[in-house]
Amino acid sequence: MYLTVTPNSALDRVYFIDAFIPGTRMVATKSVESVGGKGLDASVALRGLNLETLALGFVAGNNGHALVNLLDNYGIHHDLIWVEGETRLAMVIVEQSHHRHSHIMSGGYTVPASAQEELFSRFERSLDPVRWIILAGSLPQGIPPDFYARLTLAAKRSGKPVLIDCPGEPARQSLSASPTILKMNWQEFNQTFRVSPDSLDTLALQASEIRSSMNLPSLVVTCGEEGILAITPQMSLLAKAPRQEAVNAAGAGDATSAALAWRLSLGDPWPEALRWAAATGAAAVLTEKTGECHFEDVVRLLPSVQVREISPSKL
C-alpha cells in the first residue's frame, strides 16, 4: 500500500483547444474532468501501475463530491476530511498545436486546526501496511508551513520512507525532518532555494551543494524535456525519456513521484528506479486526464530511457 496526502485538493477540468489566442472566441474540441492535487494525482498514477493506494487529505463543496466520484472510479481508497468552502477548480488549458498546458485556479478552503489534528490521527493510524508515503502539493489557508515536517517525523517514528513534493516555505521547513526524498521541478527549486541556475550543469552543481549542506538523503528535480535530476550521497544521475507528443502533460511529475516510491520500495537501485520514474512520467503525458498513465505505455517506453551518472561540475 502506498499512502498519499493532499492538503489542497482540486478538481481538474481539462479543455483541449488548438491554440490560445487572447481576445478571440475559442471553442474546445473536447473537455474532461479529472483528479487534481499533486498527491491525489500520484494516487491516480499508482493505480495506473496496478498498485494499491490510500489517499488522505481535505475536500469541500460540490467540487469535492465530483472529485470523490473520480477517485472511486479509479478504485483509489480514500479517507478524506470534509471542511467548509469549496475544493479548488483547476481549468487546465491544453493547446494541442503547441503541446503545452496552462492552469487557471479558482476556489479554495480554509482548514481549521481541528481538521488538521484529525488528519494527523488518521495518518498515524494508516501507517502500518504502508510501504512509502507521498506528501505533495501546496498548503491551503489555515495550515502552517511545518505541516509536512510534522507528518514526516510521524512517518519516521514508524520507519516509513517519505517523498515530499512541494516548493517554498513548506519545503524549507521540511528539511529539519530529513525526508527520504525532497522533490520539485526546476522553477520550484529556484523559488525555494532562491537561486537562478542558467543551465542544467549549474542546476546540478547547486542541487548537489544544497543536498549536502542540508544533509538531505536525496534531492530530485524534474527538468521537463531535459530529464530528471537525482542527487544522492553516492551519486548524481540524469534520466531522460524520449520526447513524446504530449496530449496532456499535467500531472506527469506526480506520476514520476509514484514510480519512484514504487520502485524504491521494491529495492531497486537508484538508476533503475529513476528509469521507471522517467518512463512513467513520459507515459502520463500520453493520456487526456491529469496524472493518468497506462502500464503498457510505461513498459514500452522503459527500454528507451537513458540514465547516466554525472559529475555536477561536468555535465
Domain boundaries, the chain: 2-21+28-309
State CA 228 to chain mean position distance: 13
For residue 313, what pLDDT is reported? 54
Beta bridge partners of residue 95, listed in sequence order: 17, 100
Distance CA 175, CA 295 (A): 33
Per-residue pLDDT of the chain (315 residues; tens, 9 = 90+): 999 999 999 999 989 998 888 888 888 888 999 999 999 999 999 999 999 999 999 999 999 999 999 999 999 999 999 999 999 999 888 888 887 888 898 889 999 999 999 999 999 999 999 999 999 999 999 999 999 999 999 999 999 999 999 999 999 999 999 999 999 999 999 999 999 888 888 999 999 999 999 999 999 999 988 999 999 999 999 999 999 988 888 899 999 999 999 999 999 999 999 999 999 999 999 999 999 999 999 999 999 999 999 876 544
Exposure string of 179-216, with b = 16+ CB inside 10 Å and e = fewer, is: bbbbbbbbebbbebbeeebeebeebbbbbbebbeeeeb
Determine the residue type at 179: P
C-alpha distances in Å from residue 146, one per residue of 165, 173, 227:
14, 6, 30
Distance CA 96, CA 29 (A): 10
Q: What is the pTM of this model?
A: 0.94
For residue 40, what pLDDT is reported? 98
DSSP three-state, residue 57: strand
For residue 228, what pLDDT is reported? 97
Exposure string of 60-98, with b = 16+ CB inside 10 Å and e = fewer, is: bbebbebbbebbeebebbbebbebebbbbbbebbbbbee
Which of these CATH numbers, 3.90.1150.10, 3.40.1190.20, 3.40.50.2300, 3.40.50.1820, describes 2-21+28-309? 3.40.1190.20
| H-run or E-run covering 211 | helix 200-213
